Amino acid sequence: MYAFDFERPSTIAEAVAALQDEDAQALGGGQTLIPTLKQRLASPSKLVSLSGIAEMKGVSIEGGVLTIGGGATHAEVAADACAPLAALAANIGDPAVRNRGTIGGSLANNDPSADYPAAMLALGATIITNTREIAADDFFQGMFTTALEEGEIITSVRIDVPPGGANYQKFEQPASRFALVGVFVARTANGVRVGVTGASEDGAYRWSEAEEALNKEFREDALMDLRPNPAIMIEDLHGSREYRAHLVRVLTKRAVAAIG
């Protein structure tokens, strides 16, 4: 790692101020950023740790609305969120990683194989920052790219708990255990939403054809004639475009079957 200054403010306002410096970078749990720094793929002048900010912690459900602090760890989400999202969080990384990694950090990074983006899209989550509220549909803008401005911090995430249930199906890449493909299906108050991660060159996306079919008829067979377009898929040594396209459909069917 190159040398950097370090600050650990205790309020969002102090963190925002500390991030004004040129090349300052927010630090969530560091489970992606620290390995990235070790490889010298990033060289911030200063890290601003968000771990000391009490107002960004905690997970609560009130009146069907789930609120997750941007600084909540995956372990905390696994313990306290609604069941489908808790199950997703319980399968991120390994236990020690889950004790450090945060939802805000994961969303801000928008790794194309991260689990949370698929869930945020399918649940129609609202990403709340120090300056504004961003709908998940507008937040994810391609691989490692989000709507966040320089120095903007994800302070919390708000989700209407889906009344019809939800389920996440993850096909793990066997070495890294990241999602080769992951599909989150949710029956929200505004209809069925399908979020896909790991598959597309453009990062997490909604599979709108499947949503349309499942809104007409919520059963596996509704997906029978649908074929995700291989042209938009990632191709690498772990799987071809066609394989990923196939997995998208299979995992969507499994998620639908699991919701019942």
Partner 1 sequence: MTQVSMTVNGKSASGTVEGRTLLSQFLRDQLGLTGTHVGCDTSQCGACVVHVNGEAVKACTMLALEADGAEVGTIEGQANADGSLNVIQQAFQDHHGLQCGFCTPGMVMSAAALLKDNPTPTEAEIRDYLEGNICRCTGYHNIVKAIMAASGQDVSGIAAE
Provide the binding-site residues for partner 1, judged by CB under 8 A. 1-6, 8, 27, 30-31, 34-35, 37-38, 46-47, 49, 51, 75, 93-97, 99-100, 177
| Burial environment of residue 14 by CB neighbours within 10 A (0 to 12, 13 to 18, 19 or more) | middle
Residue among 79 and 147 whose Cβ is closer to partner 1: 79
Shortest distance in whole angstroms from residue 49 CB to partner 1: 6
Q: Which of these, 91, 89, 118, lies nearest to 103 by C-alpha position?
A: 89
Considering beta carbons, is residue 176 or 190 the nearer one to partner 1? 176
| Between 38 and 132, CB nearer to partner 1 | 38
Least separation in angstroms between CB 209 and partner 1:
35
**Interatomic CA distance for residues 159 and 64, integer angstroms:** 9
CB of 6 to partner 1, least distance (A): 3
The smaller minimum CB distance to partner 1, of residues 39 and 231, is found at 39
For residue 56, give Cα distances in angstroms to 5, 34, 159, 187: 22, 21, 16, 28
To partner 1, the closest distance from the beta carbon of 51 in angstroms equals 6
Is 202 exposed, middle or buried, given 0-12, 13-18 or 19+ CB atoms closer than 10 A?
middle
